[in-house]
Every structure is written in structure tokens, then in C-alpha cells.
Structure 1
Amino acid sequence: MVRHIVLIKFTEDLGEAAIAALFDELHAIEGKIPGLLAITSGRSESPEKMERGYMHGFVADFTDWDALQAYQDHPEHQALGAKLVANADGGKAGILCFDLPVAGG
């Protein structure tokens, strides 16, 4: 399994309702890409308070690297990705992506 982790530092003027709408759009992709197992999204509630401005994010789990690539190539993902970049503080600089192979997943 591959876990796709995305942390986003949204612009200060973007409200929670607009962020929720972006995440709703993300969840609309579920069921459209073979090998996409699940998406979890939301706002950090970490008691450590070490987010450094990356207060929102999501995790998408895929069966394998090919499924992750299919997701990355999917037109709905590309359109949403452009919206995330447009609403992130500093554009792409306000988004962190990390892909982690998970054994036994």
C-alpha cells in the first residue's frame, strides 16, 4: 500500500467553509479511481501544536504506486490540485506532499 500525505497551509483569508468545499471535491474522487482505498481529510487537532501553519491536510491510501499515478493523472485530481495551489499560502510552496510505502497495508 502507498499512503499519500498532503499538508496545506491555506491563505489566511480562506474560510473553513471554503476549505470544506475543497475537501468535499476531493472526496468526490473516491470510487472513480481503481486502487484508491480511502481518503481522510480535515484540520489538525494536534496537541503538540507543531503544524507551522500547515493546519489542514489529507491522507489518501492506494493499493500500489500505479494506483497513485492514476490518481495523479486523473483530470478531477488535476483540477482540484490547481485549486489547492491557488488557495495555498505561497502557491505550491504552501503544500507538502509525502508518499510512504506501508507494509502489510
Structure 2
Amino acid sequence: MIQHIVMLDLPADHDSAELANVMAGLGALMHEIDGFLAFAHGPNRDFEGKSPDCAYAFVCTFADAAAVSAYHRDPTHQALGARLVALCQGGADGITVVDMEAEG
């Protein structure tokens, strides 16, 4: 299983309605892409003080690398990703991605 973890550096005055629309669009891809198993998103509470530049994050759970690849190639995902880039501080530099192969 692959956890696709995306952390967003959003300016304080970001368009929250646009962010909500993008999150809804990403969540809807679970019904379109085989092996896209789960989607969760929300604000970063940063309880340990380790990620002050991350205002928001989302996690996609995929069955395997083939499902992640299908997600990356998906035109709807690409369009939603471009909208996220426009929302983030520094554009693409405001997005951090980790693809963790989950064990256990």
C-alpha cells in the first residue's frame, strides 16, 4: 500500500472555497481510479512545532504503485494539481509530497 502525503504551504489569505473545491475533486477521483482506496484532508495542527510552513495536507491511499501512476497521469488530477499550485505560497515550491510505502 502507498500513502501519497501532500503538504501545502498556503498564504493566510488563500481562497478557502477554492481549496475546498479542489479537495472535493481529489476525493471524487477515488471513484474513477482503480486502486485509489482512501482520501483524507485537513488543516495541519502542528502539535510538535515541526511543520510551521504546512497549513494544510491531504493523504491518498493507493493499493500499489500502478494506482499511484494512474493517479499521476489522470487529466482531472493534473488540472486539480495546477489549481493547488496556484493556491500555494511560491507555487509548486509550496507543495511537499511524500510517497510512503506503508508497512504494517
Common fold: TM-score over 0.5: yes
CA-to-aligned-CA distance 1:26-49 (integer Å, 9 cap, x gap) = 112121000000010111123223
Give the 5 Å matches for 1:68-83: 68-83=68-83
Given that 2:29 and 2:36 are in contact with CA atoms closer than 8 Å, whether structure 1 keeps it comes out as no
SS at match of 2:42: strand
Q: d(CA) in 1 for partners of 2:6 and 2:64?
A: 17
Q: 1:18 — aligned with what?
A: 18
Q: 1:57 — aligned with what?
A: 57
- Give unmatched runs, 5+ long, in structure 2: none
Q: d(CA) in 2 for partners of 1:49 and 1:67?
A: 33
Q: Tell me by how many angstroms 1:60 deviates.
A: 0.5
SS at match of 1:67: helix
SS at match of 1:61: strand
More helix by share: 2
SS at match of 1:13: coil
Q: Tell me by how many angstroms 1:19 deviates.
A: 1.9
Query: 1:93 is matched by which residue type in structure 2?
Result: D
Q: 1:92 — aligned with what?
A: 92
TM-score by length of 1: 0.90
SS at match of 2:30: coil
SS at match of 2:61: strand
SS at match of 1:29: helix
Q: d(CA) in 1 for partners of 2:8 and 2:16?
A: 13
Q: d(CA) in 1 for partners of 2:78 and 2:45?
A: 28
Q: d(CA) in 1 for partners of 2:34 and 2:40?
A: 17
Paired residue total: 104
SS at match of 2:46: coil
Q: Tell me by how many angstroms 1:73 deviates.
A: 0.3
